[in-house]
Structure 1
Amino acid sequence: MHHERQIKQHGIPFGWHVPTQRMVDASSVANGLACECICSACSAPLQAKQGKVRAWHFAHHTDTNCQHAAEAAVHRMAKQLIEERQQVHVPERSFRKMLHGEKQVWSEEIAVTVQGSGLQVLTGCVAEKTIYGNNPQDGIRRPDVLALLDGHPLAIEIRNTHEVDIEKAAWLKQQGYSVLEIDIADTAFEPMESITTLLERRLFANSHLAQWLCHAGDDAAKRQLIELEADTRAKRREEELFLLAEMEAKALAEQKRIAARARLQDIDDFRLRLEDCTVRIGRNIRRVSLKVHGFTAKPAFSKIMNLAHRYGGQFNKKGKCWEFQPKQDIEAFFLQLCSEAEMVCLGTNRRTPGGVAPIPTPPTTPNVDGDSQSTFRIAPETDERFEERAAILQYDGGFSRQEAEELAGQNI
């Protein structure tokens, strides 16, 4: 019913003219039944409709259940146009392959063209001709159009209501035919005045709706592609070896750089406050470093410098730090230096990340009741110095009162 409504709305664009045995449009024949045309789908009589309102077209003379009149008319007209003009536009046919060198150090696409695109002249072009297989058991087929293209047999299939049968295309390929499919399925129900123009554009001008199902030159092109690949790889082998060596050298250099960084990267650090600066002591598997971050008064800086000299530190101008390479165990030396620096910077705020160089636990002093407590008992002659040190640690160093007293007691 859907097709019937479309036919009644749009009409039939072409009719089979019995006297001339060819497809015609309604403007090429007499009006009404005098047109002497029949339907390409059901062979029922048609009458030409040459009115003043609608575009001229054909219609069945009597009601019929013909559902594919318009499509059959366009399909048959397409075959006739190719046969009469002995031409067809073909798309490009090529085989391509992307090549990559070892480890993808180079890439290149190669291609072999089987058939260039464009309008091609055909010879021996004939519609609806039966062809027989190379062997008696192969059977027969009837392509829409048969022709010769550059001396090679060509079968043209006009795709209308359905695509080309896979088995038919394989059979034609086996018999040595190139197979070109042209899709015209969308043309049958276009406006009547546009169908001929659209059909001619589809058959004789560039169109993305034409495709090669197979080509007589495919096998030769595939062999050529294999040879081209071997030739390309041979030509690029010297370049490939150079690039591989360069890649390997870069990878080795990167590995060395990462290893060197790992050797130099600190695995421990200890930080102390010295007035407005931070004293940082770090260690890796090869050395211990001592550095002052920020600016501080000369007397305070001299304390750190003297500490570095006392332990044989060498000043690294690039890193702006003292470096130590002790003969003893590095970790033990690191802890020792942290302890010494803590003594030098005593009275300032400090931080001990990771538990490195923990704060020494001061000895406890029995109180008058004999109980062990962490609060120091200071002799009267040192009371004033103790209170001063504890106050500095508490208010300038940021320690709690108990911590300040314990640290002050160690140095009084």
Structure 2
Amino acid sequence: MKIHKLAVDKKSGAVVSIQEVPNGLSCHCICPDCKKTFVAVQGQKNDWHFRHYEETNCKGGQETALHQLAKEIILTNSRLDIPTYGTIIYESPHAEMPFQKIIPDVTAKIIDENLFFEIHVTHAVDERKKKFYTDGEHKSIEIDLRNYAFTTKENLAFHVLSNIGNKHIIFWKKKVVATAGPDYSWILWIAIVIFTYFGMKGLFKRTSAFSYQRT
């Protein structure tokens, strides 16, 4: 059975971990998926975890909670490490804010440009969205958490903000393709021919003069 280590605080709506709430019903938590009451189980034998207060077929919504928590981490920070470009500084992050015909997971600003974050827990960025980002030349990053097993918020923050191995740049900047300029190689070849011609001509004259002097 999958251990549930994340829940939603009933009052604030924020994602909380099993380590930061009181035991039992005092945790005041609900399931991230079905929204029914969760109980914090913090015993001495087994790993601490949440479970539904009432019997249910719900799977506990841990992927949903992980996705939401990853967004909250981006929203409450301003620095993030990405491949090739290193540490970037962003500002004004907003979750689920519509932009034209898409809804990115998080939208932020970087030097007066839009910056879009997509978080892959169960669903990768689809081709339609990728095409929108690349065709529109919108800075965009996908953070891959599909194989991540939650332990602590601090560990998740590291994987969201500092681990570059789980990040994919969808689009960052347009590649500059060098265009070929005029071909002036023919001038070089003419110069070589002229130099060779006059060089050989000079050598022939010197050889002829030397032969004449000997005779």
Same fold (TM over 0.5): yes
Which residue does 2:200 correspond to in 1? none
Which amino acid letter does the alignment assign opposite residue 93 of structure 2? C
CA offsets, 1:155-181, max 9 Å, x none? Answer: 111111121111122234445522210
Confirm or deny: 8 A CA contact 1:14 1:77 kept in the other structure. no
1:77-156 alignment, distance < 5 Å: 77-92=69-84, 116-118=85-87, 120-131=88-99, 133=100, 140-156=101-117
TM-superposed CA distance for 1:40, in Å, is 1.9
TM-superposed CA distance for 1:52, in Å, is 1.7
Task: Measure, in 2, the Cα distance between the counterparts of 1:34 and 1:149.
Answer: 42
Matched, 1:48 2:40: yes
1:226 to 1:144, Cα distance in 2 relative to 1, 3 A = same
Larger of the two Rg values belongs to structure: 1
Confirm or deny: 8 A CA contact 2:133 2:170 kept in the other structure. no
What is the aligned residue count?
188
Matched, 1:226 2:175: no
Task: Measure, in 1, the Cα distance between the counterparts of 2:136 and 2:25.
Answer: 45
TM-superposed CA distance for 1:195, in Å, is 4.5
Task: Measure, in 2, the Cα distance between the counterparts of 1:40 and 1:130.
Answer: 23
Structure 1 unaligned residues grouped into runs of 5+: 93-115, 134-139, 242-412
Matched, 1:186 2:138: no
1:32 to 1:68, Cα distance in 2 relative to 1, 3 A = closer
Structure 2 unaligned residues grouped into runs of 5+: 190-215
Which residue does 1:390 correspond to in 2? none
Matched, 1:27 2:22: no
Confirm or deny: 8 A CA contact 1:91 1:206 kept in the other structure. no
Task: Measure, in 2, the Cα distance between the counterparts of 1:62 and 1:91.
Answer: 45
Confirm or deny: 8 A CA contact 1:39 1:69 kept in the other structure. yes
Which SS does the other structure have where 2:39 is aligned? strand
Task: Measure, in 2, the Cα distance between the counterparts of 1:28 and 1:156.
Answer: 27
1:245-260 alignment, distance < 5 Å: none
Which residue does 2:205 correspond to in 1? none
Task: Measure, in 1, the Cα distance between the counterparts of 2:56 and 2:132.
Answer: 36
Which amino acid letter does the alignment assign opposite residue 109 of structure 2? L
Task: Give the TM-score of the pair, scaled to structure 1.
Answer: 0.41
1:234-383 alignment, distance < 5 Å: none
Confirm or deny: 8 A CA contact 2:140 2:169 kept in the other structure. yes
Which SS does the other structure have where 1:226 is aligned? coil
Which residue does 2:51 correspond to in 1? 59
CA offsets, 1:251-274, max 9 Å, x none? Answer: xxxxxxxxxxxxxxxxxxxxxxxx
Which amino acid letter does the alignment assign opposite residue 159 of structure 2? R
Q: What is the identity percentage for the equivalent residue pairs of Structure 1 and Structure 2?
A: 26
TM-superposed CA distance for 1:150, in Å, is 2.7
TM-superposed CA distance for 1:148, in Å, is 1.1
CA offsets, 1:297-325, max 9 Å, x none? Answer: xxxxxxxxxxxxxxxxxxxxxxxxxxxxx
Task: Give the TM-score of the pair, scaled to structure 2.
Answer: 0.75
Q: Which has the higher helix share?
A: 1
